[in-house]
Amino acid sequence: MKWYTYVILSSLFLFTASACAPTYYNPIVVRPASCSRQMQFAESPDLGYILAFADKMEKPVFLDFYAPWIPTCKRIDENVFTQGAVAAYFNQNFVNYKVNAGGTSPGPQITDMYGVTTFPTFIFVDGKGKIMLRHEGYVTADQLLEMGQFLHHAGDEDVLSLGTK
């Protein structure tokens, strides 16, 4: 091969690798929505940063309150968040954030703030932290997708405010 072929191939590889690399919005990590067939969850040490980011993006936040020792929470991670249609829809239309109720800070504080006592609990909030929809207990992929679509369409029709308008 000619030397320029190597240059082109290495440039293509670097572009592809960097396109799927996480983006750091200090102090949040958000992975690109198109790089995974499972739901992508933002990482942050503080819910306030997630809410501010969601407010700027004009997207609601999907909060997954879970406890790692509960079998239902594990089943949702394995069977619902890995469904292509659910992942694609939520990655595109929401800022997703997992809250480990039994973990270290800020999990227990956020759990108390929203009065969560059942796991799993799913709460959709706007960019100011106001609850838009709450569901406790197991959901199927179809049920979760239906909830997300309902909120997305309600936001499009100005039935719900996302905190920015």
> Shortest CA distance to 39 belongs to which of 52, 30, 47, 50?
30
How many CB atoms within 10 Å of residue 146? 12
Residue 44 DSSP label: -
Using alpha carbons, select from 9, 8, 63, 54 the residue that is nearest to residue 28. 54
Tokens of 121: 């609990």
The domain locations on the chain are 3-156
Q: What is the DSSP letter of 27?
A: T
Confidence (pTM): 0.80
What H or E segment, with its residue span, contains residue 15? helix 3-19
Q: Across the strands, what pairs with 87?
A: none
> According to the model, what pLDDT value does residue 35 have?
64
Q: How far is CA 93 from CA 12, 100, 162, in A?
A: 29, 22, 12
Token pair for 53: 């980011």
User: Which CATH number does the domain 3-156 belong to among 3.40.50.10280, 3.40.30.10, 3.30.70.260, 3.30.465.10?
Assistant: 3.40.30.10
Angle between helices 141-156 and 84-93 in degrees, nearest 10: 30
In order along its 165 residues, the chain shows pLDDT tens digits of 555 554 454 554 444 444 565 555 566 777 666 566 889 999 999 999 999 999 999 999 999 999 999 999 999 999 999 999 999 999 999 999 999 998 888 999 999 999 999 999 999 999 999 999 999 999 999 999 999 999 988 866 655 555 544
